[in-house]
A and B are shown apart, each in its own frame.
Chain A
């Protein structure tokens, strides 16, 4: 029911077509091979072979560039250790397929007449290849892999074991490990469009229906393309895409390895990080799918989802004995919105203390898309230790704002970050620090606030908050650096997003329909941009 509502509102353009100007005609970003991220690789394997298939726990780690794995995927390489791991994973998974009667039946749709049966091998390889490589294999590619299967089958004296070797080759191929969406300089082909849509909206490879639409040439047609955009967004699987985007943007994956001193933070536990991530993602899902509400509400909503771990941390009654339940926070709880959640508060802190500077940088860089320069290399960054004159973090880092040398940057971050000082390094509420009452007041770009409850409202009202989400989603969808995306196009999306009431599904659809997403730039010829170190 909720989903249906979301679907309806999402397909109805809230800005009447006649009032929204046409998208500016600009150059699309250069096309680059994109590595599958760790999450995408796992999702693809799950979709192909089921949730039971065992994928090695450690693959080649993703790297963020401009805050997103999606951008890092366009620039980084797979290490030689990574090649080793992907080869090992491919052999293991191909082996699991042949060891499972049901998977074998699904992926070997024929009965071989001998240890070498090229027709049967060809059917199986073509079927898996089309799904795994997100396009039909060429005759040459098919022939080569059939030969691999035939040779291996003869050596091992077993058709299926031979086919397993060819399957492993398919699964470690660059056509699986990279998204090859290069276009021809003017347009992406149907399969490239299918892959782009699917990885953007579902964070996994196209399903059968999308591949079939690509084969039928429907994605080159406006109506066929937008019909698939709407279908993908209306499907439950788009939740995975939404969750992945916000997880990358808000760095929620880092919650798996929170390092906190439990003697300082007594509510710290191994489950806190994963619980905190789930709280944030459940809140975003509810805001987007159940309410189809404004993204800006993320910073003021009193609704959240807590399990027992988090309820204890927040000092509220646990809504459920097991798992997560809905909780409506009150001003007496001191916290609301994403910035009152343990995920943000714990991640942007040190192991034994808060970090107003890190919290402020996060707000500026991630939520407002502003760039805070690195401190000068010769900065002497010592701050006083806790003393009677400097009991609170605010007192201790006062030098950041008093010394003009430091203040030029810290004035941008600390007055925001100090607003969260009522929350300790894992997000537990506190009134005092070292017996001194905490002052959590401050200002955000000229607007004063008394505490984090009010600060949430200022973030929601900030003119850069909405545009920043739209810029970040455009970078995420295209895997491009900010500089590669034309400013006028970014502004056009941001204005549309505002006109649409900052509804997130609307924005996903708008970006999926964006010329920057649908049409390719030239293949990238640069090595890297100029030096910064000299």
Chain B
């Protein structure tokens, strides 16, 4: 189907009212044109084919992770409930324009023994499984939630999942122990990945390019190598090589999709080429600019159905990232700043501004009679609450988008009993239409969802 507005705006400015949009009309970044557009309903029911959550548009999952926690006293909204019953707290204030799309969850707890500062908390939040050791080092004992969901819903896409970061970091997406999915940290490289050779202009059919077929034939030879090698391996290496084979299969499938059945969603469009210099300024990463650039592209990767799962990292647990205006690295400040930690607080607020940027990119893309964000569940979380004490109760969670109405919206849910954070992970999988009877292991294992946030 032809797009209704072929030059539809792609790079909305955060916080703009929907009726007035910043449009980058294919010109250099920064040349902003504003124009008024008709209301949403008039725009999108005309075609009559795509409605949000009618089963036509896919559901997507996003993990949006930041390091080093929050300050619970300044994070937790005072009241609970729906709509006007609750208000955003000081640290959540930057999300005001998106409050109607949020379910803020407070009071959840990781039930894993908190043996390794930050790392145990991350294991509870992302895997619900105790850490495993390799010599003196630790690794996650199981796949992280983004990969659990990607394995179930990502299989038919060009990318089963993508990982990005707003700073040079390792990321926390793992397919299994010692199987890290490193995030792309360079916006230019990510642009090439999304809009380079795997990008098919909306409305175009698959390309019959002999080179794609020949790449598959080379990959077939590689799979033969893997199979012969596998026969000689012990169990430890078999598992590693299985991951390798999985990656080769994913690549081969990608080539097949490009040849035969490229995704073709109405909202898909190439984002403007990048021109900014993202290198550090005075020893400080341009984390906000990088976050915005990555978010714009992530949103379009979803809108183009190149992937249905993303994991985006601002920085890692324990990161000493030097934020603008901060007197010291983030982790250092969480421990060493005195009083009520104004600098740590300012960084947390800044991180929520960055989250708002990402979410707004998703909100600004119309899908059917709603927005892309409504078809997503975005789990924004971190590995501790108060980093100074490495606390793993009061874990801060912002759940955005509602996954097609699966989750309550404009809602603050507080778990007064300190429920197991695993329940949230179960609910998230169910929101992606996965059948989950139990999840996690050891003390973190649970078999219930978090019913208090389900609509």
Which positions in A face B, CB cutoff 8 Å?
30, 32-33, 58, 60-61, 63-66, 71, 75-84, 87, 90-91, 141, 144-145, 148, 151-152, 155-156, 165-166, 168-169, 172-175, 178, 180, 182, 257, 259-263, 268, 350-353, 371, 374-385, 481-483, 522-534
Contact = CB atoms under 8 A, between A and B. Distances in A.
B112 interface: yes
Given A33-B240, A374-B116, A379-B117, A81 B175 contact: no
Given A65-B134, A351-B329, A382-B338, A32 B236 contact: yes
A205 B19 CA distance: 62
A528 B134 contact: yes
Given A78-B243, A382-B388, A524-B234, A175 B229 contact: yes
B133 interface: yes
Contact of B320 (A82, A182, A350): A350
Contacts of A173: 221-222, 225
Interface string B392-434: 1000000000000000000000000000000000000000000
Interface in B111-155: 112-117, 120, 123, 130-139, 141
B36 interface: no
Nearest to B235: A525
Contacts of B222: 169, 172-174
Nearest to B132: A528
* Secondary structure dominating the interface of B: mixed
Contacts of B134: 65, 75, 481, 528-529
B352 to A, nearest CB: 22
Nearest to A484: B135
Contact of B328 (A71, A151, A169, A352): A352
A516 B139 CA distance: 26
A531 B139 CA distance: 10
A152 B217 contact: yes
B400 to A, nearest CB: 25
A80 B244 CA distance: 7
Contacts, number: 258
A165 B251 CA distance: 16
29 contacts: A33-B237, A33-B240, A63-B178, A64-B137, A65-B134, A65-B178, A77-B175, A79-B179, A81-B181, A83-B244, A144-B224, A152-B214, A172-B219, A172-B222, A173-B221, A174-B241, A182-B232, A262-B282, A263-B282, A375-B117, A377-B114, A383-B336, A385-B338, A482-B136, A523-B233, A528-B141, A531-B133, A531-B141, A533-B141
A528 B336 CA distance: 36
Nearest to A385: B338
Interface of B: 112-117, 120, 123, 130-139, 141, 160, 163, 168, 170, 175-182, 184, 186, 189, 210, 213-215, 217-222, 224-226, 228-229, 232-237, 239-241, 243-244, 246-248, 250-251, 280, 282-285, 320-322, 327-329, 332, 335-338, 388-390, 392, 442-443
A259 B283 contact: yes
Contacts of B234: 30, 522-525
A149 B77 CA distance: 65
A268 B390 contact: no
A259 B282 CA distance: 9
A351 to B, nearest CB: 4
Nearest to A380: B389
A32 B240 CA distance: 10
Contacts of A155: 210, 213-214
A523 to B, nearest CB: 3
Contacts of B388: 380-382
Contacts of A529: 132-134
A532 B328 contact: no
Contact of B390 (A77, A352, A378, A385): A378
